[in-house]
């Protein structure tokens, strides 16, 4: 009994102490010179979809929920947002190579069709991120238009996914 009480006191102290160690938040002032909208038109309805379902993890501005103020939740959210931005960051999209831009749009379509994006863990709390079939179709049409624009400006083989390392000497 004494051991259990000591263990609970130690855990309580740890929980209190970690509250003082907070990760940096993903909140930055715009506008962003490399935002996707600087290179491709983003219609208002698409921007609304992206804002509700994508930008919290895939941009430089996250809308944080109240529970982000509790550790270790804030660390988990930071890791999640950092991972999302590494995969696709709409505010840095114009810095991507044409192949990567094409791949990210193709991946967006694929992941949304599979139901893998937005993540279930995100939509449990953010109900406005659950996409209707109409919103998905709007998003797919827009992503396809970005891909069509890329195909019109770059040779098709420069946009194709590479399987394996590039040929020697290239």
Q: What percent of the chain has pLDDT over 70?
A: 95
- pTM confidence score: 0.82
pLDDT digit string (tens) for 14-43?
A: 787 777 878 888 788 878 999 999 999 999
End-to-end CA separation in angstroms for the chain: 69
pLDDT score recorded for residue 162: 60
Peptide bond into 122 cis (omega under 30): no
Query: Cα-flanking dihedrals φ and ψ of residue 166, to 5°?
Result: -65, 155
pLDDT digit string (tens) for 122-143?
A: 999 899 999 999 999 999 999 9
- 164 confidence band (pLDDT: 50, 70, 90): very low
Which of 60, 2, 73, 4 has the alpha carbon at shortest distance from 30?
60
Half-sphere exposure at residue 85, Cβ-oriented, CA atoms within 13 angstroms: 16
* Residue in this structure with the two tokens 């238009």, named with its chain if needed: 145
The answer for 161, left when phi > 0, alpha when psi is -120 to 50, beta otherwise, is: beta
Mean pLDDT of the chain: 89
pLDDT digit string (tens) for 55-67?
A: 999 999 998 888 8
């Amino acid at each position: 009994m004494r051991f259990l009480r000591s263990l609970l006191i130690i855990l309580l102290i740890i929980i209190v102490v970690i509250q003082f160690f907070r990760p940096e938040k993903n909140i930055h002032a715009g506008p962003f010179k490399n935002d996707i909208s600087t290179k491709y038109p983003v219609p208002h309805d698409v921007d609304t979809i992206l804002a509700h379902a994508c930008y919290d993890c895939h941009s430089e501005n996250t809308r944080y929920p109240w529970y982000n103020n509790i550790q270790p939740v804030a660390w988990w959210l930071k890791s999640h947002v950092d991972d999302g931005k590494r995969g696709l960051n709409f505010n840095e999209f114009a810095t991507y190579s044409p192949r990567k831009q094409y791949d990210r749009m193709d991946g967006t379509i694929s992941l949304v069709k599979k139901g893998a994006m937005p993540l279930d863990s995100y939509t449990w709390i953010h109900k406005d991120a659950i996409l209707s079939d109409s919103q998905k179709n709007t998003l797919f049409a827009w992503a396809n238009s970005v891909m069509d624009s890329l195909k019109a400006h770059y040779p098709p083989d420069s946009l194709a996914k590479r399987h394996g390392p590039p040929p020697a000497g290239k």
